[in-house]
């Protein structure tokens, strides 16, 4: 069983920004006061890209992408009913 002194969920802890530290080979998450909240070990090639993705601004509410082609289920749902 994994035990930690940091609570798994605390409403007051919010990640303000992510930084990739190439010397340590990890992505660090900081709060708005500059306190380290989380460190994720990663490879040098992947870490910088992942930190940038975490730090990108939100794009708004998630929306399901439009289907590019009819799915088999969609074809059945749109079929005419006999009668």
pLDDT recorded at residue 67:
57
User: In the predicted model, is pLDDT for residue 21 greater than 70?
Assistant: yes
- Cβ neighbours for 44, distance < 8 A, ≥ 6 positions apart: 22, 25
Q: How far apart are CA 56 and CA 52, in angstroms?
A: 6
pLDDT, one tens digit per residue, over 26-75 is 888 888 888 998 898 888 778 778 777 776 655 554 455 555 555 555 55
Go through the chain and tell me how many residues it has: 83
- Which uninterrupted H or E stretch holds 37? strand 36-41
pTM of the model: 0.49
Place of tokens 């007051």: 12
Predicted confidence at residue 79, as pLDDT, reads 54
3-state helix vs strand vs coil in the chain, percent to 5: 20, 20, 60
């Amino acid at each position: 069983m994994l035990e930690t002194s940091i609570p798994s969920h605390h409403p007051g802890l919010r990640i303000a920004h992510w930084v990739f530290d190439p010397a340590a080979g990890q992505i660090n998450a900081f709060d708005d006061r500059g306190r380290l909240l989380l460190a994720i070990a990663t490879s040098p090639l992947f870490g910088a890209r992942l930190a940038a993705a975490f730090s990108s601004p939100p794009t708004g509410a998630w929306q399901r992408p439009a289907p590019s082609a009819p799915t088999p289920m969609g074809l059945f749902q749109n079929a005419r009913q006999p009668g």
